[in-house]
Amino acid sequence: DADVTQTPRNRITKTGKRIMLECSQTKGHDRMYWYRQDPGLGLRLIYYSFDVKDINKGEISDGYSVSRQAQAKFSLSLESAIPNQTALYFCATSDPGYYEQFFGPGTRLTVL
Amino acid sequence: KNQVEQSPQSLIILEGKNCTLQCNYTVSPFSNLRWYKQDTGRGPVSLTIMTFSENTKSNGRYTATLDADTKQSSLHITASQLSDSASYICVVSVYNQGGKLIFGQGTELSVKP
């Protein structure tokens, strides 16, 4: 969905490096989410934010941090990347009271 | 434990044929159930969303059913096309937990000419 953009789309990095993945949306939604997807597993929630001042941990937040810079921007950081953080990362947005989440195109991260 | 299980894990069908994908869930309290289509290298896109009171919903050639008593859902694809090749993900929302979603692992569908 072009309304939710993620940068970079692909990234290869080395163990121990700090990485930031960025998400921007033009949907005007208050709620934003970060997920990771691994082969054979469902998407798992890392962090979510219901507005600029609200940040919540998801089920797999260890090793990750986030920043909600504005309503439209939500960044995910890996402070010290490790190989098992190699995965596909998705940002999503939703509007309160509406059921649907809208996903970005994903960032493929490889940690060597 | 809240879980969503999908079957089969993968499926190959010929173009023009119909197919049905299954989803069983043990999510409580239940809010709604969604089916997403995820093309390779892209984010999931919503196909249907059903609440507790809805037992069928269609979106073109896609028809989803929900049996809230048995906690089962199915996605039926009619007259498949090559563009239907994708992963289909069943997702259940937990009631009153801020939009928390439980994702199934997906069914990988391949439509062959």
Flag whether pLDDT at A1 surpasses 60.
no
The stretch A25-51 carries a mean pLDDT of 92
Q: Which residues of A touch B32 (CB under 8 A)?
A: 99
Indicate the residue of B44, B93, B104 with minimum beta-carbon distance to A103: B44
User: Residues of chain A with pLDDT > 70: what percent?
Assistant: 96
| pLDDT digit string (tens) for chain B, length 113 residues | 889 999 999 999 999 999 999 999 998 888 899 999 999 888 999 999 998 889 999 999 999 999 999 999 999 999 999 999 999 999 998 887 767 889 999 999 999 99
Q: Do B103 and A106 touch (CB under 8 A)?
A: no
Contacts of A4 (CB under 8 A, 6+ apart): A23, A24, A25, A27, A91, A92, A93, A102, A103, A104, A105, B43
Of A40, A45, A103, which has the smallest distance from its Cβ to B43's Cβ?
A103
- What average pLDDT score do residues A31-36 get? 95
Nearest to A109 by CA among A83, A92, A87, A91: A87
Among chain A residues, the shortest Cα distance to B42 is held by A105
Residue A77 has pLDDT above 80, yes or no: yes
Q: Does pLDDT of A20 surpass 70?
A: yes
Q: Which chain A residue's Cα is nearest to B99?
A: A99
- Which residue is listed with tokens 């990347």? A81
Mean pLDDT over residues A40-52, rounded?
90
